[in-house]
Amino acid sequence: MTRSPLHDEHVALGATLVDFAGWDMPVRYSGDVAEHLAVRTAAGLFDISHMGEIAIRGADAAAGLDAAVVSGMERLAIGRAKYTMLCTPGGGVIDDLIVYRRDWDHFLIVANAANVETVTAELVERFSAFDATVENITAEVSLIAVQGPKAVGIVAAMCAAGADDVRALKNYTWCTVLLQGDVHAMVARTGYTGEDGFELFVVPADAVEVWRLALALGESEGLIPCGLSARDTLRLEAGMPLYGHELTLATTPYDAGLSWVVQTGAARVLQRPGIDGAVSMSAEPVARGDFVGREALAAAKERAVATEADPASAPEEARILVGLVGSPGRAARAGFAVLMDGRRVGIVSSGAPSPTLGVPVAMAMVHPLAAVVGTVLDVDVRGRSETMTVTALPLYSRAS
């Protein structure tokens, strides 16, 4: 089993460690609810070094990515990031990714831990006709997240240089900073909790120093270390999909309510830098070229539009993602059957008690007829029926 560079820190803090995608990772420290609520009200510190990192470098890096994933990448500016998906030719999701543009010819991709080898191999194949390299660099990166309403102040305080750049970051942008202790870091305003937050990319040799710095500077702000269990309930409340649950090879982005991820239209494309290093945009919009899964996803879009107009026209096996909110009682869990009028209409993809809302919540893949907001459904919780109401996602949104 692979250990994070922070493994000994977790042991010293009394964390419960579990096998997660082949990594020995902390599932909790002080307790799931306390950790969850700390992120909602103050700040939480997460070791997410199990996430996979892939570097794309070369003259055709942007063009190759544009052909490989479902979102346009040639127009992505340096210093920005984009959420996207790698899909099969049939439109199924291989993994959901965040892509960071480091330079005009250099991208960093963050993939799910269980999928990084599959994603790397798929990208190597898809880049075979492009002048660019694909390299799994997971072993060269440690990833630490500071999440919560007080995250910006904590991360800014960690900086020896670049604090103003951190404060100025917008969502899905990044900058490089010098942290206290002469540690270089890439800091991105991204996260998986539904709160404001940052993810810090550092080399493994610096991970312990950065972790301890965050704990020391964040203690007075209420920051505590948080495990993967709290991260899961946080993302569930925020309606964020988890691969293997809401996203699978059998689901398309449209099934998961993520149609906005698929980009097929025209865009002004970033040009390569000139002699002076400047990067310009093309004068006229350029139609995006072909990408793997485009034809199947176009058909999926047509089905989604038709289903939205007339849910009764959807085939029996059709499923779309919804949120569910229950009353105090036993929580629905992944794999539990969802029923309407006694007939099975879907399955829970994720479920847990909500520390923020105080009731059981879930996401489920259900037939479009059962997906109307306000519809009352039953979930078979180990042989007992629990009533839950279809609710728009996300189930929780932070105050802006």
Q: Are residues 44 and 165 in the same domain?
A: yes
**What is the mean pLDDT of the segment spanning 346-371?**
99
pTM of the model: 0.94
Helix (H, G, I), strand (E, B), or coil: what is residue 392?
coil
Q: Is pLDDT at 266 greater than 90 in this prediction?
A: no
Residue 99 lies in a domain: no
Is-contact 264 250, C-beta < 8 A? no
For residue 278, is pLDDT > 70?
A: no
How many whole angstroms separate alpha carbon 196 and alpha carbon 206? Answer: 24
Same domain, 331 and 230: no
Q: Is the pLDDT of residue 279 over 90?
A: no
Q: What is the pLDDT of residue 289?
A: 78
Q: Is 199 annotated as a binding residue?
A: yes
Confidence of residue 280 (pLDDT cuts 50, 70, 90): very low
**Domain residue limits at 353:** 311-391
Is 318 contained in some domain? yes
The count of domains in the chain is 2
218, 238, 258 - which closes a domain? 238
CATH code for position 164: 3.30.1360.120
- Using one digit for the tens of pLDDT, what is the confidence trace for 51-89? 999 999 999 999 999 999 999 999 999 999 999 999 999
Q: What does DSSP say about strands 2-3 and 23-28: parallel, antiparallel, or unpaired?
A: parallel
Least confident span in 151-165, 217-231, 250-264, 265-279:
265-279
Residues 41 and 157 in one domain: yes
* 103 lies in some domain: no
DSSP assignment of 261-297, as one string? G---SEEPPBPPP-TT----B-SS-EE----TTHHHH
**pLDDT above 90 (res 1):** yes
Q: State whether 234 and 151 are in the same domain.
A: yes
On whether residue 386 sits in a domain, the answer given is yes
User: Per the domain annotation, does 25 fall within a domain?
Assistant: yes
Instruction: Please tell me whether residues 156 and 26 are part of one structural domain.
Output: yes
DSSP class of 365: E
Mean pLDDT of the chain: 95
DSSP state letters, 158-201: HEEE-HHHHHHPPTTBEEEEEETTTEEEEEES--SSSS-EEEEE
**pLDDT score for 341:** 96
Q: Among 188, 206, 238, give the residue marking a domain's end.
A: 238
Q: What pLDDT is attached to residue 264?
A: 81
User: 34 and 182: one domain?
Assistant: yes
β-pair partners for 340: 343
Domain limit, last residue, from 221, 238, 255 = 238
DSSP 8-class letter at 382: T
pLDDT surpassing 80 at residue 42:
yes
Does some domain include residue 366? yes
CATH number of the domain residue 316 falls in: 2.40.30.110
Tell me, yes or no, whether 283 lies in a domain: no
The pLDDT assigned to 281 comes to 43
Q: Are 131 and 60 in contact (CB under 8 A)?
A: yes
